[in-house]
Structure 1
């Protein structure tokens, strides 16, 4: 009689570790895209930057452009969380200010310079542009659910759908506006000081965009 075989090999990765790996791949991909362009970047190079094989990279992402998805998604998730936590009866300005003071940050997700560099690439790289727009397309239902929950309405209510679309469009326009402003701020002899001003502008731009989109949302 033979003894039952035990499980061999490495233990399975936790979901937290998988998320961490996806983020490491995303950051490596952005660094390579910015430094040498999307066309010149290969899956082998992305994997090598984080100590993985290209085969492992393709297990996490279907294409090199899609490797950046986690960095796009983190900001979207932060905004959805903000909308869910926005107390009924509190103005949007008050909610945003409290969130920023708490240190959460309205942009959430990766650092702003990474976001700026990545969003700028979406203007010249069709593959990245497709990923960027797809991220916002998938975000809209999440925004709708958050707004519906806040208003006590069904998620498929037309008013909720329209408001979510307004928030979605306003946020994308604000981030793109910031990214291109940051590009110009990084030029010149006073790049560091101007960049700080541009980063401050991201919060102001998002505040303004959300305020416009929130008109009529009580």
Structure 2
């Protein structure tokens, strides 16, 4: 008989994603309260009940801890595009598809906007923010390719995916600037601005209908 295996059981991919998201939320909370410069990796680890050594196995720097929460924005946008009916104007679809968020989703959205606002004067956060959108381009290319009936690696598809990512990034940055300045906008207006950004980026190539 073989000897029993010792040590901890391997962490599942789902549990690892949840652990990274928990760390991300904690890091952003500390960044908002104390600033990026005055927040340490040790403080982030302590807030989630981990050792610093474990934290650094998940993230290469304290600034990179924000990545999981930021990625929720691109993930949600991709999911929305996947559900976009071909015969429906994008703005109508955005309004219909974006239900009122639950408290956890709303909190993550506010955290994202806080990080984006801070990234204006925090180069390390800005770098992470841009990386998130660069990684989203490959997934967006799959969505664009399916809608246009083309291959994801075709140049036209990749360019459309890149412009879509840029449209979402710019719309989010504008919203973050508004929130940081205390300018609250109605939810419908934010969705309309996102729709306008997508139309400007794609020039109707994805089949958007005039509203």
Give distance in 2, aligned partners of 1:91 and 1:200: 15
Measure how far apart 1:137 and its partner are. 1.1
Measure how far apart 1:181 and its partner are. 0.3
Quick check: 1:26–1:70 contact (8 Å CA) kept in 2? yes
Structure 1 residues 42-191: aligned runs within 5 Å: 42-101=40-99, 111-185=108-182
Matched, 1:203 2:201: no
Measure how far apart 1:11 and its partner are. 2.6
- Gaps spanning 5+ residues in structure 1: where? 186-193
TM-score (norm 1): 0.84
Measure how far apart 1:104 and its partner are. 7.0
Encode CA deviations 1:161-198: one digit per residue, 9 max, x unaligned.
2221221111111100000101122xxxxxxxx64x36
Greater length-normalized contact order (CA 8 Å, ≥ 6 residues apart):
2
Quick check: 2:69–2:108 contact (8 Å CA) kept in 1? no
TM-score (norm 2): 0.87
Q: CA RMSD in A?
A: 2.2
Count of matched residue positions in the alignment of Structure 1 and Structure 2: 204
Instruction: Show the counterpart of 1:189.
Output: none
Larger mean CA deviation between 61-70 and 162-171 belongs to 162-171
- Gaps spanning 5+ residues in structure 2: where? none
Quick check: 1:167–1:213 contact (8 Å CA) kept in 2? yes
